[in-house]
Amino acid sequence: MPLEYVKSQKDGNLLKYDGYLFRKEKVGMRNNGFLPMPTTLLDLQIPNEYKFTHNGQQFLLHDSGPVDNRILVFSTVRNLELLSNQHHWFGDGTFKTSPPLFAQLYTIHGLRNNVNIPLVFALLPNKSAATYDSFSNIKNLNQHLNPESFLTDFEIASITSFTRQFPNSVNRGCFFILDNVFGEKVKTKEKLEYGT
């Protein structure tokens, strides 16, 4: 659309109209073959087309099944081979970008040509030790997975689980994350003590 036309729509009808069309198309798509949004992990259905990469490699390597504490692990056989050749792994969970129904997206990274590459993606329902134990069983997907070290944040449940699953690996805590945690604690304490 030319910029002049957009500017000429001073009353905002263009945006309202586009929003209406978008909603109408979205509802139409939902009624034409898209699955409804699940309300629980028990209801979550993953169509086969989303279990594979664009070139046909299996991407969903583990699905714990329709249970309340469902875990989905995404990677490829090639990524696991790359990870098995890595001596040092880096793991991190993020809560801000996880999809609804899951508590976190946890990734395991390796280095290739000095570039940090995410190789395993897991959608986890919570931060419990049992969940991390189930996720740590990724070693069952490739028997050669055995890092020398594993760098993580200072979350006790994940450290304990990975140490149990990879007993020959040294777990190292990430100073950057520790520094951020201490920094946030200091800021919070200052606000409480000094009322700033």
What are the phi and psi torsion angles at 110 (to 5°)? Answer: -130, 170
Tens-level pLDDT at each residue, the chain (196 residues): 444 544 454 544 444 444 444 444 444 454 556 668 889 999 999 999 999 999 999 999 999 988 889 999 999 999 999 999 999 989 888 888 888 999 999 999 998 888 889 999 999 999 888 888 888 778 888 888 888 888 887 778 888 888 888 888 887 776 554 445 555 666 666 555 555 5
Rounded-to-integer distance, Cα 23 and Cα 141, Å: 42
Q: Which of the 8 DSSP states describes residue 98?
A: P
> CA–CA separation, 118 vs 83, rounded Å?
10
The reported pLDDT for the residue numbered 193 is 56
Task: Round to whole Å and give the CA distance between 128 and 121.
Answer: 17
Under 8 Å CB-to-CB from 85, ≥6 apart: which residues? 110
**In angstroms, rounded to a whole number, what is the distance separating the alpha carbons of residues 32 and 15?**
25
Q: How far apart are CA 131 and CA 122, in angstroms?
A: 11
Question: Can you say whether the dihedral through the CA atoms of 73, 116, 91, 177 is positive or negative?
Answer: negative
CB 139 within 8 A of CB 165: yes
**pLDDT at res. 80:** 94
Q: Which CATH class is domain 57-182?
A: alpha beta
Q: How far apart are CA 170 and CA 162, in angstroms?
A: 10
Spatial separation of the C-alpha atoms in residues 62 and 134, rounded to whole Å: 10
Domain extents for the chain? 1-34, 57-182
* Residue that the structure tokens 């945006």 belong to: 15
0.85 exceeded by pTM: no
